[in-house]
Structure 1
Amino acid sequence: MNRLVILEVPAEDRGKRLDAWLAGEMEGISRSRVRQLLDEGLVTLFEGTRPKANYRLRGGEKIRVSLPEPARLEVRPEPITLDILYEDEDIIVVNKPQGMVVHPAPGNEHGTLVNALLYHCGDLSGINGILRPGIVHRLDKDTSGILVAAKNDAAHRGLAAQVKAHSMKRVYLALVHGTVAEPRGRIEAPIGRHPVDRQRMAVTGKNSREAITHYRVLEQFEGYSLLEVRLETGRTHQIRVHMAYLGHPVVGDPRYGPRRSPFNLPGQLLHAGCLGFNHPVRGDYLEFTAPPPPVFLQVLENLRREKRGEGK
């Protein structure tokens, strides 16, 4: 059974395209998905007409959107190799490779970290539901690095409390575009959904949450800077959004950086290299480190050679 959503267009949005406006108003619905709904006749004006994607809003009209119920996903264990840094009866700490999605979602039902964890562990905490068992914090698909998962609900609650209190140590390496002038800095800028492209986040004062990022310059190259970045908060795409906001997007970032990626990269050069937290059951402090993946290290080596004059 479809879910009916009724939206009223405010007068100040007069003249906007319908597909762009709907994508901006409906949480989790992309512009391409809006066009699909329009093509299927699931978007109508109150007088019964079915508008096209390029329909220009008049302001004041009411729009019906009939949303089909999403297909139920079944999460199955899969024999995928894991780089395990630590494991006990409560938690497992892994070094996630670049290109791996953390948990299943429409379009990414298989090959995720959760599929691999379920095969290896047999069971995970159920607090986050069937699609995200054991997942306390996430890394983007093309961000590599360290992530901890909970095997039971007690461990999950203990880890989640540390994430909420901002007491979990999370340090990243990031190669960014341009020369970062200040040797260190603190970025405090709220992050929320982009007003038009709902697949992106943005620094905005509307429907946003506090976001704080600390950075330190480690090395400078011709046109690039290597940063150590520490998260104080953990918003979606936080480092990527904050660095783009500063005018120094992460190298290889297809969403917030230049469209054409330098070095033919598969994704952004952002690596969660250090994770520290108190064991959620025992209470002792644990800290883990992992080097960046080979593609990241190779780019750094090439830049260092050029800096020394060897690559010219």
Structure 2
Amino acid sequence: MAKKGPTPRKKKGPLFTFDVHETTELLPFLMDSIKSKSRNSIKSFLTRGQVVVNDEPVTKHSTVIKKGQTVKVLKTPAPSKVTFNGLKILHEDEDIIVVEKDSGLLSMASDKEKEQTAYKQLTEHVKREQLKNRVFIVHRLDRDTSGIMVYAKNEEAKLKLQDNWKDMVKERTYVALVEGYVKKPEGKIESWLKETKTFLMYSSQRKNDGKHAVTHYKKLKGNKYFSLMELELETGRKNQIRVHMQDIGHPIVGDKKYGATSNQIGRLGLHAKALVFEHPTSGKVLKFETKIPQAFQKALQK
């Protein structure tokens, strides 16, 4: 019975793609698989970082490859592996990436900060698969707010999510650590938000005097110093939760911009805890939920 060799597959992108059918070393495998190239050319592919095994770059000639793995020779060197800083991927498919962002990390570049952003890290991540890949901003979290965010991987997904955000998002829940003991266990805050020339948001109670904003809140627990609030957005206006917590006399811990007097936890006490939305392509309802930050919990134990 003739020995079964590697099976090349036609695929847009890589120069060559091969399935591995038996355990062997990488260099002999490539030489046996690519008859049209010389030994030196194949070594150059390895040296330049153009060879990936199961999408991981490999440069060592003697690397052992096993049955079931896939070897690709790329047109250009594979980008180096991305180490995420302040970011964790919760879900990824062909159209979207759902992440959990730490407090202190920008969603996208600003005038002062262009390097250390969630957008830049995710761009480097998707370019590892193919250099022309991109990510697109769908919505943002403030730099000091942690929690769940969605990025699109193509323009169609971005436009569908942005244009239909209100209808596609089924639930958007935050938790906030606020100053003082909130007496009312639950309630609704409604106002019209406006912005000053110095970019400070504030509430107007006059109907249609600004952008309509509605926040529903429920107190989860509290002590005489702090209260942990669960907040569900009916609308998603700029700094909405921060303004509304100030409006009821309980500003978010660490939020000096909106009335906080101290910062015992060393960060803004706001976290995007849960997000439920329709997938822009499949229509399937996706639900993501994260834990309440430990700093919030510790403040309530005092």
| TM-score for both structures, normalised by structure 1 | 0.64
Work out which of the two has the higher radius of gyration on C-alpha atoms and give 1 or 2.
2
Distance (Å, rounded) in 2 between the aligned partners of 1:173 and 1:85: 19
Distance (Å, rounded) in 1 between the aligned partners of 2:164 and 2:267: 29
Post-superposition offset of 1:94: 0.3
Aligned to 1:141: 143
Post-superposition offset of 1:180: 1.8
Partner SS, residue 93 of structure 1: strand
Post-superposition offset of 1:259: 4.2
Q: Is the 8 A contact 2:228 2:296 kept in 1?
A: no
Post-superposition offset of 1:260: 3.2
Number of residue-to-residue matches in the alignment: 214
Aligned to 2:111: 106
Q: Is the 8 A contact 1:144 1:292 kept in 2?
A: no
Larger % of strand: which? 2
Alpha carbons of 1:78 and 1:237: their partners in 2 closer, same or farther (altered >3 Å)? farther
Distance (Å, rounded) in 2 between the aligned partners of 1:292 and 1:220: 14
In structure 2, stretches of 5+ residues that fail to align are 1-80, 128-132
Partner SS, residue 252 of structure 1: coil
Q: Is the 8 A contact 1:192 1:202 kept in 2?
A: yes
Counterpart selection for 1:119 from 109, 115, 124: 124
Aligned to 1:84: 89
Aligned to 1:277: 277
2:107 maps to a residue whose letter is V
Alpha carbons of 1:78 and 1:266: their partners in 2 closer, same or farther (altered >3 Å)? farther
Name the structure, 1 or 2, with higher relative contact order (CA <8 Å, separation 6+): 1
Aligned to 2:260: 258
Post-superposition offset of 1:245: 1.0
Does 2:250 correspond to 1:228?
no
Distance (Å, rounded) in 1 between the aligned partners of 2:194 and 2:88: 33
The 5 Å alignment of 1:1-312 reads: 80-81=84-85, 82-122=87-127, 123-124=133-134, 134-165=136-167, 167-194=169-196, 198-204=198-204, 208-261=210-263, 263=264, 265-299=265-299, 303-304=300-301, 306=302
Q: Is the 8 A contact 1:193 1:201 kept in 2?
A: yes
Aligned to 1:25: none
Q: Is the 8 A contact 1:166 1:232 kept in 2?
A: no
Q: Is the 8 A contact 2:172 2:274 kept in 1?
A: yes
Post-superposition offset of 1:166: 7.0
Post-superposition offset of 1:193: 0.5
Q: Is the 8 A contact 1:99 1:141 kept in 2?
A: yes
Q: Which runs of 4+ in 1 moved over 6 A?
A: none
1:266 maps to a residue whose letter is G
- After superposition, give the CA deviation of every residue in 1:8-56 in whole Å (9 maximum; x if it has no partner): xxxxxxxxxxxxxxxxxxxxxxxxxxxxxxxxxxxxxxxxxxxxxxxxx
Partner SS, residue 92 of structure 1: strand
Give me the CA root mean square deviation: 2.1
1:163 maps to a residue whose letter is W
Alpha carbons of 1:166 and 1:113: their partners in 2 closer, same or farther (altered >3 Å)? same
Distance (Å, rounded) in 1 between the aligned partners of 2:119 and 2:102: 13
Aligned to 1:58: none
Alpha carbons of 1:101 and 1:78: their partners in 2 closer, same or farther (altered >3 Å)? farther
2:243 maps to a residue whose letter is V
Post-superposition offset of 1:284: 0.6
Post-superposition offset of 1:161: 3.3
Distance (Å, rounded) in 2 between the aligned partners of 1:223 and 1:288: 30
Aligned to 2:70: none
Distance (Å, rounded) in 1 between the aligned partners of 2:253 and 2:185: 19
Q: Is the 8 A contact 2:179 2:260 kept in 1?
A: no
Distance (Å, rounded) in 2 between the aligned partners of 1:97 and 1:217: 23
Partner SS, residue 190 of structure 1: strand
